Each structure stands twice: as structure tokens, then as C-alpha cells.
Amino acid sequence: MTKREVVVVGGGPAGLAAAIEAARLGAKVLVIDENKRPGGQLFKQIHKFFGSRAHNAGIRGIDIGKQLLKDTEEAGVEVWLDSAVVGVFSDNRVAVLRNQVTEIVQAEKILLCTGGSENALRFPGWTLPGVMGAGAAQTMINVNRVLPGKRILMVGSGNVGVIVAYQLMQAGAQVVGIVEGMPKIGAYGVHAAKVRRAGVPFFLGHTIVQAIGDDRVRQAIIGEFKDGQIVPNSEKIVDVDVICMAVGLRPLTELAWMAGVKHDFIPELGGWMPLHDENMESSVKGIYVAGDIAGVEEANTAMDEGRLAGVAIAQSLGCTSDEVAEAKKAEIRDRLTALRQGPFGERRLAAKQRIVEKGVN
């Protein structure tokens, strides 16, 4: 059995940010990730972030990821890649499938940063080749440099759907439309405006009815959607070879369930997720959560939640003084509150406050 002070499961934005923060305060940290390269979603994000300087305004996601990798190395964080955590058991034991051998790691503290998974939308033809998640399409174009198709229909007008639609156009595809069940666009105006200017139509108050094809998608039928029903005679047939689904994410919570962590259903943040306190510690002492597993939000929020957990873990291990830790945590919490302001953030802020209240009680 291998022993480590801190084990971080997941080397995405939250996991790396947490590992850096804890290591800089003196904790010995091991990050375990099943991929060949750490960094997670950031390496798919070629667009520039916006907001304040504290929130990486004007910096592309891929460049933020590169900086995190550099900081991880400089902080002395140990990283295991191509390593899948297959179990979290009592007494903070972690089972890792590595080099085709299952290895048990005994940790003093565990941080779960397992991320989220794309939701599916079921309709006739949804299993045809060419129907895929928007995140899968983004990986193909921005990481693997492969164009998934030439004529693409996007379902979902949130930030993910609109940003990926624009990036597909940059990669050479034609986006024939963005379908949205709600009567208004869900994305930030700055993202939606770029797509509108490029001539992409938004079909608001519509949904996808069917995908048509034999060996792959050839056409899509969309229709006006009202009161839970397709409006008669409103269907349109669109020639496409790819249908992208951007209908939200859900937290990946299997390891947290396995560890016995208390969960609750929080629809504003993706569904069932672990409850946690103000330090990101779950109901199981010594197990923390951060990032999309603790509620699906944005990359900056995931990183700051990771930093908060990293400081709290280092403090609990006695690696830093309470005075230093509390000052750092207060600064991070202020940034998190700022990220959850405005019309897009108020519901998330209220949901987070509800999670913390339930996690403490």
C-alpha cells in the first residue's frame, strides 16, 4: 500500500488549482488523472475569458491550462496520468488502476474533482452516428483537429452551445442553426452576438423532433415547441451531417457515492451532487469536493473552489497557520461571490448557499 498526504482525484481546472494551492502551503500532493495529459476542459477552450483581471479576463482557456501545468510542476505536485481511480473506501483508501495493476493509496485527505458529464437528449434517431455532445465536437476540433461534419445543427443556446457553434465555424463547418426550447437565448450576449453576426439562425421555442439517416445522420426535423407539445404543422427538415447536443452537464458523483458522501438534488447546478461545507469538505470527514462534481458552473468558479479546498486541506493538516489560511479563504470566497453575481449567477449563488447550509447541518 502506497501512502500519500493529499490525493486529488482529477487533474482538471479544479484539481490542479487545488493541488497548487495546497502544495505551495507545504502539503505533499498527488494528483491522479485518467487522461494522458492533465488540464481537463481548459485545453478545449480556445476563446478568451472575460470579466475581471482576477478571473483571467482576456486570456484563452488553453493558455490558462498551460500556466496551471507550469505552476503544478514548480509547486512539486506529483502527478499520475493514465491512472483511473476505481474506488474510494473507508479510512480514505483510494483504489487506482495504473499500468494494468490495481494499487491502493492511503491518503490523509482526499479531494474529488471528477468533473461533469454531458447530458443526452433522447429522440427518434438519437443513436445514429453523427449525433454527439457539443463537448465531444469541441474535443474533436480543438484538441484532435478533426472536423466532425460540414453541416451542423446545434441543440441548446447556452454558453456551451453558442461557443462551440462559433468554434465549429472557425474550424470550417457550416452551422445551419441553433435550436432552443426556451423563448430566449441562454448564452451571454457577447457570445450570442458573434454567432448572430455570422448569420446563424436561432430557432427559439423549438426542439428537435427526429434525426433521419441510414448509416449516419442525413437530416434533422425540428419543430415549434409549446406547452410540452410539438405545434402541428410547424416541423422543418434541415439537411445536416452532425447534430450537436448542448443540453447541460451533470456532476460525476460515482466515487462520492461510493465513499458514503451525503448527496442532494440541486437542479440549478446539474442535479444530484455531494453536499459540502464552506471549506468544500463533504459529510465524510477528510473527503473534499470541488469543481463540477460540487455543482456545474464555469471554469473560473471551478478553479477558485479548488483553491478554497486546497487551502482548507493544508490548514487541516497543519501546514499553514490559521491566520494565513483564513485570510486566503476569505479572498477566494469574495472572488466566488463576485462570479455568482448578476442575472446569470444569482440562482447559482442561492443554490450554493443552500448546499453549504445542508452540508453543515
Q: What is the DSSP string of 168-223?
A: HHHTT-EEEEEEESSSS--S-HHHHHHHHHTTPPEEETEEEEEEEESSSEEEEEEE
Report the chain's mean pLDDT, rounded to a whole number: 92
Q: Identify whether the C-beta of residue 162 lies closer than 8 Å to the C-beta of residue 187.
A: yes
d(CA 267, CA 313): 28
d(CA 6, CA 2): 12
State the pTM of this model. 0.91
The class level of CATH for 133-245 reads alpha beta
Looking at residue 49, its pLDDT comes to: 65
For the chain, the domains span 2-117+249-360, 133-245
CB atoms within 10 A of CB 67: 14
Looking at residue 359, its pLDDT comes to: 76
For 361, the grid coordinates are 447541518
Looking at residue 52, its pLDDT comes to: 54
238 CB-near residues (< 8 Å, 6+ apart): 153, 176, 177, 219, 220, 221, 222
Per-residue pLDDT of the chain (361 residues; tens, 9 = 90+): 789 999 999 999 999 999 999 999 999 999 999 988 887 777 677 666 655 555 665 677 778 888 888 999 999 999 999 999 999 998 999 999 999 999 999 999 999 999 999 999 999 999 999 999 999 999 999 888 999 999 999 999 999 999 999 999 999 999 999 999 999 999 888 889 999 999 999 999 999 999 999 999 999 999 998 888 899 999 999 999 999 999 999 999 999 999 999 999 999 999 999 999 999 999 999 999 999 999 999 888 999 999 999 999 999 999 999 999 999 999 999 999 988 887 778 889 899 999 998 876 6
Topology of domain 2-117+249-360 in CATH is FAD/NAD(P)-binding domain (3.50.50)
d(CA 311, CA 118): 30
Cell numbers 474510494: residue: 88
Cell numbers 447530458: residue: 119
Q: Identify whether the C-beta of residue 195 lies closer than 8 Å to the C-beta of residue 175.
A: yes
Q: Given this chain, do its domains 2-117+249-360 and 133-245 carry the same CATH topology?
A: yes
Cell numbers 462551440: residue: 164
